[in-house]
Structure 1
Amino acid sequence: MTQAAQTPETKPQTDEEIIDSIGAYGYGWHDSDAAGASARRGLNEDVVRDISAKKNEPEWMLKRRLKALEIFDKKPLPTWGADLSDIDFDNIKYFVRSTEKQAQTWDDLPEDIKNTYDKLGIPEAEKQRLVAGVAAQYESEVVYHQIREDLEKQGVIFVDTDTGLREYPELFEEYFGSVIPAGDNKFSALNTAVWSGGSFIYVPKGVHVDIPLQAYFRINTENMGQFERTLIIVDEDAYVHYVEGCTAPIYKTDSLHSAVVEIIVKKGGRCRYTTIQNWSNNVYNLVTKRTKCEEGGTMEWVDGNIGSKVTMKYPAVWMTGPHAKGEVLSVAFAGEGQFQDTGAKMVHMAPYTSSNIVSKSVARGGGRAAYRGLVQINKDAHHSASNVECDALLVDSISRSDTYPYNDIRNDHVTLGHEATVSQVSEDQLFYLMSRGIEEDEAMAMIVRGFVEPIAKELPMEYALELNRLIELQMEGSVG
């Protein structure tokens, strides 16, 4: 989450002032790149061994990494979706260590890193107790981490993934790669080979984490690859809400963000995973996210995709136990030069399971937004139900929206609903709002905010306000 600093004398800006005065991307500064400048480029066995050695990992993890590298080298790039042929894997920096050790307080952080997170409002969120725990990843590693003491006493684990491997090796090894194996796709193989950072969370039986855990991911170095690995285990009848935010500086050359998120929801458990992504328009955002949801469990993905050059992301729920539930609420905004290829995957593997997908996309300035989704109901998943809604809004005549639904139904005793709409902002809508004294740019922003409101209302208040502000920034100059 980001927060604009205000002095006591500063009056809050109106929507119109924000649109008129602020650039479309407000987080494009970069700090000193001394660590990044000395980092090695390219990917080979020596690089993978070096990453593992620097982290002092057990032998089994090194073997996993090297096997994943073999898979990555053999697997081709996807031939569908966005064109990824311009990614130069030999020019990427796969590991950048920005600080030698994790800070215990914000004041312990190196000054340039601390200033970055001050600008993004992260320490303020912790001070105001808006979050139950906070993690900050800068480049390849988590530089700061805290969790409320009362949650620690209840047995909640919230650490960075590297610490999880060191301090909880049996739990970690049991679940690492159990939901998303290295061979799932080319980028899950890449992540498994070079992963660094991310969050490791375990919520014990019956424990409810009442306010969100938050993580923030920042790329600073040019040609950087960020490959965090997040692993969340929600035990029986437990609950957690995890929120992540992402930004990067603007460079002339591209960076790569390729994360893997694995979630296991046990019997009767519930997990909500919220993403507010605002990468700069030189970042390829290629992410694999999947949940295994057991009997009576509930998984909710709330996905906000605002920035990046290319995003390919399809949060998934594998419902393996009866009465499991999966939900994906997704909003994607494609501006000039951007391709948002997003969607969801729901796989019903047990009876009486249910899923719901609501996808909203907005395209302007020649941007392209696509919904790509799968609903699979297996032969044993009788009396299951799924509902899919895909709505696209085109702000102008030069933008594009596509829908690629795939439904694989193998049982007759199920219910499936699918609805898709594409609409364009009409002259009548603008005229009506302008006749009420609203300026044209502000009227356009209001229409877009109303369109995505079903997603925004599912966010915590401060994140909903942030999403609306990001939309306003993206809508700058959309008229005329």
Structure 2
Amino acid sequence: MAKKRSEVADIDRTIYDITDSEEGFEKLDAGLTPEIVEEISRRKDEPQWMLDFRLKSLETYHRMSNPTWGPSIAGLDMDNIVTYVKPNTDQSATWDEVPDDIKNTFERLGIPEAERSYLAGVGAQYDSELVYHNMQDTASKLGIVYSGIEEALHEPRWEALIREKFMTLIPPTDHKFAALHGAVWSGGSFVYVPAGTKLDFPLQSYFRLNAKGAGQFEHTLIIVEDDADLHFIEGCSAPKYNVANLHAGAVELFVGKRAHLRYSTIENWSKNMYNLNTKRARVDDEGEIEWISGSFG
């Protein structure tokens, strides 16, 4: 019987090390200043409260010391990290509209092959922006919301919920790189599953960092209401470079009473990547979470 590529023994690291041209990409200056944070917020057309949140997080970042726990981060210099890179495309719900170089990268990584065969919805982020997002009608008809978190911020119903939940499980005061995330976060996923709703097939988001010397700071916010059930899959990867790259995303998972969430994540980082991701969940009475995490590089 033929093996499938998903078996660990068959994973070929070289498919993750293929790089694409950055021609036509928009980059902000490296480093961390209020002007950079304000420009990120302006590009996202965010509500004022989010800009205020970013600027306060930046102040917190500058006040805090580097964490003393975990591996050495002596080689990470934020003055040399670009915190926002926009690829040469806007978000699309049609795979054919994605530029060929970006599309080819995701094709090599199994997206959207997985969408066609198994998934109820897929989001794909390239550097700092979502480039593709789609969800099957079967999921949306159940009342499930799966979108980019920035897109949801422009919907009054979801903006209020995001404001209530955003960075409450992982406050910027948690550690220096949580504060960094609060200041410069970009892209990510918003999922809302109504009470009593059960989705038989997973949703998946995939985050690809291509730019050299850059950071990726996506935010995942998942809310599974009482008696609901969801399986959510995240994947991350980046090519190998001879300079430092940074991944400092955040994942916040809210699981209601008697609800069930299966959260699966696989990360494929190269040796030059500082992976300073923070993930946290809150599970209500009789709720359940299955947390499956794996990484290799």
Q: Report TM bin, short chain.
A: over 0.9
Q: Deviations over 1:269-300 (max 9, x none)?
A: 11111011111221111111111111111122
Structure 2 equivalent of residue 203 of structure 1:
193
Is 1:171 aligned with 2:154? no
Match of 1:154 in 2: 142
RCO (CA 8 Å, sep 6+): is it higher in 1 or 2?
2
Q: 1:76 to 1:299 in 2, by over 3 A?
A: same
Q: How does 1:80-479 map to 2 (within 5 A)?
A: 80-128=69-117, 130-167=118-155, 168-307=158-297
Asked if 2 retains the 8 angstrom alpha-carbon contact of 1:36 and 1:222, the reply is: no
TM-score by length of 2: 0.94
In the TM superposition, residue 119 of structure 1 has moved relative to its aligned partner by 1.0
8 Å CA contact retained: 1:271, 1:300: yes
**Aligned AA for 2:52?**
K
Change (3 A) 1:231 1:119: same
Question: When you count strand as a share of all residues, which structure comes out higher?
Answer: 1
Alpha carbons 1:30, 1:249 under 8 Å: kept = yes
How far the C-alpha of 1:41 sits from its partner, in A, is: 1.0
Alpha-carbon contact 1:262-1:291 (below 8 Å) kept:
yes
Native 8 Å contact 1:205 1:238 kept in 2: yes
| Cα distance in structure 2, aligned partners of 1:121 and 1:94 | 27
TM-score of the two chains, using structure 1 as the length reference: 0.59
Q: Distance in 1 between matches of 2:13 and 2:291?
A: 26
Specify whether residues 37 and 91 from structure 1 end up closer, same or farther in structure 2 by C-alpha distance, changes over 3 A only: farther
The AA in structure 1 aligned to 2:243 is T
Describe the superposition over 1:240-295 as per-residue Cα deviations: whole angstroms up to 9, x where unpaired: 11111111111111100001111111111111110111112211111111111111
**Offset of residue 24 of structure 1:** 4.6
Distance 1:291 1:95, change over 3 A: same
Q: 2:52 aligns with which of 39, 43, 63?
A: 63
Deviation at 1:178, TM superposition (A): 1.9
Look at both structures and tell me which one has the larger radius of gyration over its CA atoms: 1
How far apart are the structure 2 equivalents of 1:221 and 1:55? 20
CA RMSD of aligned residues (A): 2.1
Q: Secondary structure of the residue that 1:122 maps to in structure 2? A: coil
Indicate the residue corresponding to 1:414 in structure 2. Answer: none
Give the CA deviation at 1:32.
0.9
- 1:164 is displaced (CA, Å) by 1.5
SS of the residue corresponding to residue 66 of structure 2 reads coil
Q: Secondary structure at the match of 2:37?
A: helix
On the 8 A contact 2:15/2:108 being kept in 1, the answer is no
Question: What is the rounded CA distance, in whole Å, between the counterparts of 2:163 and 2:174 in structure 1?
Answer: 18
**Contact 2:27 / 2:86 at 8 angstroms: preserved in 1?**
no
- The residue number in structure 2 matching 1:448 is none
The separation in 1 between residues aligned to 2:234 and 2:212, in whole angstroms, is 22
User: Runs of 5+ in structure 2 lacking a partner?
Assistant: none
Kindly provide the amino acid, as one letter, of the partner of residue 131 in structure 2.
Answer: V
Q: Structure 1 residues 92 and 36, CA, compared in 2 at 3 Å: closer, same or farther?
A: farther
CA separation in 2, counterparts of 1:14 and 1:59? 48
Alignment-mate amino acid for residue 227 of structure 1: F
Question: Is residue 137–residue 143 contact of structure 1 (8 Å, CA) maintained in 2?
Answer: yes
Q: Partners in 2 of 1:134 and 1:193 — Cα distance?
A: 26
Q: How many residues align?
A: 293
Once residues 12 and 294 of structure 2 are traced to their aligned partners in structure 1, the CA distance between those partners, rounded to angstroms, is 20
Verify the 8 A CA contact 1:25 1:280 in the aligned structure 2: no
Q: Which amino acid aligns with 1:211?
A: F
CA distance in 2, matches of 1:220, 1:229: 18
Q: Distance in 1 between matches of 2:27 and 2:237?
A: 22
